[in-house]
Amino acid sequence: MLSYRITHNGPISGFIKYWIGRVWMGVFGWDVVGQVPPGGKFVVVGAPHTSGWDFPFTLAAVYIFRLRISWLGKDTLFKKPFGGIMRWLGGIPINRGSEHGVVDQIAKQFRESEKLVVAIGPSGTRKKKDYWKSGFYWIAHTAQVPILCGYLDYGQKKACLGLSFVPTGDIKEDMNRIREFYQGIQGKYPELTTRIRLVDE
């Protein structure tokens, strides 16, 4: 028996997507649990990322939580004729050559937005790496918005949004909290799991 222990206040327009998500998870026997933090502004990170299957399961969970997710892309992707479509899909253009770094650009987006949820994959790839990328941490710290940690646990067939906190700047202590949250979580291919550690530590 699946249990959808979820707190959300999504718009009624997401009703169809919500049921698409529930049907998908139900077919595969997955549970969806967790809570979306208040305020409407946060950075979502998901781990471990080891398979192309992560995308449809993540999308189903996003539908169930009724989240409007934004993602980061090179500014060249947002030029005509596809710029409008990219923005409609939740894309945020990033100018990597700007004197203002990516962190500052996204922090500015948070300050200027009433609601904004940015999803960032800290491992950056399905292949095993030595470290997570630290952008998610410094964006949340600079914007002073919560990091929301989520996972797909293929061992328990569970999608979860759980740990949520505003980073303190004590990167070692904050990352210890994140490591504790993800302890025991199994990706589809555990041998491809990138260890939870930042070069900044």
Q: Convert the pLDDT of each residue in 24-79 to its tens digit.
A: 999 999 999 998 888 899 999 999 999 989 989 998 999 999 888 887 777 777 77
More confident residue, 132 or 37: 132
Q: What would the pLDDT profile of 103-129 be if each residue is shown by its tens digit? A: 988 899 899 999 999 988 898 777 888
Our count of domains for the chain comes to 1
Phi first, then psi, for residue 126 (nearest 5°) are -80, -15
Q: What would the pLDDT profile of 188-201 be if each residue is shown by its tens digit? A: 999 999 999 999 88
Show the domain range for 151: 38-57+67-192
Q: Is residue 138 part of a domain?
A: yes
What is the overall mean pLDDT for the chain? 86
Q: How far is CA 71 from CA 103, 178, 184, in A?
A: 13, 21, 27
Q: Is residue 15 part of a domain?
A: no
Q: Is residue 19 part of a domain?
A: no
Q: Is residue 118 part of a domain?
A: yes
* Closest CA relative to residue 152, chosen from 37, 14, 31, 9: 31
d(CA 173, CA 13): 40
Q: Is residue 97 part of a domain?
A: yes
Mention every residue, 6+ apart, whose C-beta is less than 8 A from residue 57. 24, 25, 28, 30, 152, 159
Tokens encoding 139: 């964006």
pLDDT band at 99 (very low <50, low <70, confident <90, very high): very low
